Amino acid sequence: MRTRLSQIISLALLSLAVGPEAYAADAVDLGSVNVSAAAGAYRPKEAAKGTASAIAPTQSSLLATQPQSVITREFIEKSVAPTGDYSAIVNIAPSLSGTAANGPGLSETKTTMRGFKDDQYNITFDGIPWGDTNNPAHHSTSFFPASVIGGAVVERGPGNASNLGFATFGGTINLFSKKPAQEMGYGFTTSFGTWNTRLYSAYYESGRLQNAGDATVQLNYNHLQSDGYLTGNTIKSDNYTVKVQKPLGDATLLTAFASFNDIKYTQNDNGNGPTLAQSAQFGKNYSLNDDPTSFNYTGFNYTTKKTDFAYLRLQSSWGAGWNTDNSLYTYAYDNQTISSTDPTGATAPGTKIGGVGNKDIPGIDKQNKYRVYGDMFKATKQLDAGLARVGIWLEKSDSDRHQYDLDLTKGNIRDPRETKPTPLQQPSVLFDQQSSVTTAQPFAEFEWAAGPGLTVTPGVKFVNITRSVDALINQTTRLPQNASTSYRTTLPFLTINQQLTPALAVYAQYAKGFQIPDLKSFYIANPSQNSSDPQKSTNYQLGIVGKSDRFTWDADLYQIDFTNKYVSNNLTGADAAFVNLGGVTYKGIEAQGTYVIGSGFSVYANGSVNQAKSAETGQTIANAPQMTAALGGLYGAGPWSASLIYKVTGSAHQTEYDATKPADYDYYKVQAYKNADLGVSYSIRNPFLGSKLLKLQLNVFNLLDKQDITSITAGKTRPFDQYLYQVPRSMQISAKADF
């Protein structure tokens, strides 16, 4: 803890020391520098208190060029679990789905967007894309707890050429840090809930520091601890975050941000849930136990994760219409896991280290560790005809992954009888692999003011990615591997936004997205055989946005053609390769709206009808819900605030269609499941000891206590299929004091 605190304090002091002498607050003029991460990330300027734009849980901007859902900090504080993460925040949006199997924010959640799985869309923080390096998947609990997120914008599409990341394929979830307060303040939050859940959080806002050049400093500490809903699945995490902003002169803004996260889980590396037999005997929440002769023993299954995320951002206005924005960043992920190999009971105990008939428990020592460095540069020039934008994204990552066999019964020692093919005879190594990814992606676009209220934005992005592997023992082949492959493509973009009236706009988008090939494409003898063409998507989208004081609404239509699907050719040895074959067509309609009834009452609704079908079979792909819908009531008047949100996630197949399976193969289909969350708070002003505000809040999750199936994972045979269920009704009681 001391190390984390010293890092935060050092960064804060360093940032305050940078730059010239202090400037008065009223002397700061940043011109057209965009000091608020992105339009809509925080409450819109036009959103007067009590209007639909100020209240809406999700909404689109009148300047939108693709379907989006803007989610503000106000909604997060009112309706999202204090223990939550970004997945709990964005799940309210149309076409998004995902549940935490261990309770809100108590286990990782894989969110689905329009049927695109987690590694098929980007997630950014303050505009910086982040994710795993083997594929661009994400770990929802590992970087940013809800307490440090200032807002989110879900963009269902590739965006413009300046939208960056390794998976513009399906869209982007944009997360933003909290906006600095203009006045000094600090506060504390405590929260207690079901499963012995407790959270302690503290924040500090410096306000504008005139003696430090009008800098602002934000500090945040968040501690979470819980026994969790799943048996034996405890979690303990600590997050430390600092953000400093300082004007340099009258037209430059420096932002320094750093976040550190430590998590300890007790859980099996296979988190797919119990079998039907296990849930019948032990309950739907069965996971781990206290039996040291079992694969599911708590002492054999634990994980530690340490992450950090930091950036320096310099935004400058140079005059004559020129502006620049540069972000230099780094982030890291370090997952160290000890786990047994089969929690379902399909495999009998016994390791190779013991004699014939031994009952020792086999396990693994798994590491996934990487460090990423990058820089994002954008320059804009305001012209009479519109706004020109050019830039480049540069990034380099280095990964170190391994998996070793263990005999857990004998004290987590490596199994010396688990040998490798010649010439390597290093025992117990399933793989020991280093890899790297480098990318350079220059782009250019022009926001052409084509007529009254009409903006037309063509653009182009050039993608150049090189993935390299240098493995002592490679995954799957268990042979040495030293290989490199480059992927290149050109992506065109065209968006249109027409302001029909000050309160009504329409937009259209044509855009190409892409997804970096998975590292598993290197798990063959000769990766040079692979196709060098990444997976691509072609997006066609139309939408309309309307806003008034009492009603904010939008709707859109989309069709996405996914081509160049990256699949194995099913050959072996030197002929094995990954090739581009077929794809998926996605279609749908989405809408969201908030209406102010009056006297503090509002209603909210959203919905989507989604279709995702294979180009080869015409069948719906796996894990693609056929619809989503939400209905909510909101209240805010005087000291009282409340929200009740009811969401339905439609049915979804859990495995890909296979014509060779029996006629009743539809048992791998999860039916629609429903969830209702209630939040009620009461605020007291100036209650005690100089405090400005005391807020008491009750959140009840899954109010109707549903426990339907949310996921099925096929096992070795049908009796060993694994099931996850809705977490039953739970609650959290919170108190927040602001000073």
Find out whether 147 and 222 touch, Cβ atoms under 8 Å. yes
Residue 277 pLDDT greater than 90, yes or no: yes
Q: What is the pLDDT of residues 542-598, one digit of tens each?
A: 999 999 999 999 999 999 998 877 777 777 777 777 777 778 999 999 999 999 999
What single-letter amino acid sits at 319? G
Please give the DSSP secondary-structure letter assigned to residue 183: S
pLDDT score recorded for residue 526: 83
Phi-psi bin for 716: left (phi > 0), alpha (psi -120 to 50), beta?
Answer: alpha
Has residue 388 been placed in a domain?
yes
Q: Among residues 31, 136, 140, 125, which one has the least CA distance to residue 91?
A: 140
Per-residue pLDDT, averaged over 135-145, amounts to 93
CA distance 708 to 730: 15
Cα dihedral across residues 486, 396, 119, 399: positive or negative:
positive
How many beta carbons lie within 10 A of that of residue 210, not counting itself? 12
pLDDT score recorded for residue 424: 44
pTM of model > 0.85: yes
Containing domain of residue 138, as a range?
A: 2-295+306-320+329-738
Has residue 300 been placed in a domain?
no
Taken as a whole, the chain contains a residue count of 739
Tokens (6 digits) for 578: 């990954």
Phi-psi bin for 312: left (phi > 0), alpha (psi -120 to 50), beta?
Answer: beta
Has residue 636 been placed in a domain?
yes
Has residue 36 been placed in a domain?
yes
Has residue 559 been placed in a domain?
yes
Residue 37 pLDDT greater than 90, yes or no: no
Count the domains in the chain: 1
CATH number of domain containing 523: 2.40.170.20
Is residue 5 within a helix (H) or strand (E), and if so which, with residue range? helix 2-17
The residue whose two tokens read 């990058």 is 374
Q: How confident is the model at residue 416 (pLDDT cuts 50, 70, 90)?
A: low
What single-letter amino acid sits at 581? L
- Percentage of residues of the chain with pLDDT beyond 70: 91
Has residue 301 been placed in a domain?
no
The residue whose two tokens read 């857990």 is 408
Q: What is the pLDDT of residues 444-496, one digit of tens each?
A: 999 999 999 999 999 999 999 999 999 988 988 888 899 999 999 999 999 99
Q: What is the pLDDT of residues 284-305, one digit of tens each?
A: 999 999 999 999 999 999 999 9
Tokens (6 digits) for 318: 């140079």
Has residue 196 been placed in a domain?
yes
Has residue 449 been placed in a domain?
yes
Which residues, at least 6 apart from 73, have a Cβ–Cβ distance to it below 8 Å?
A: 42, 43, 149, 150, 151, 178, 179
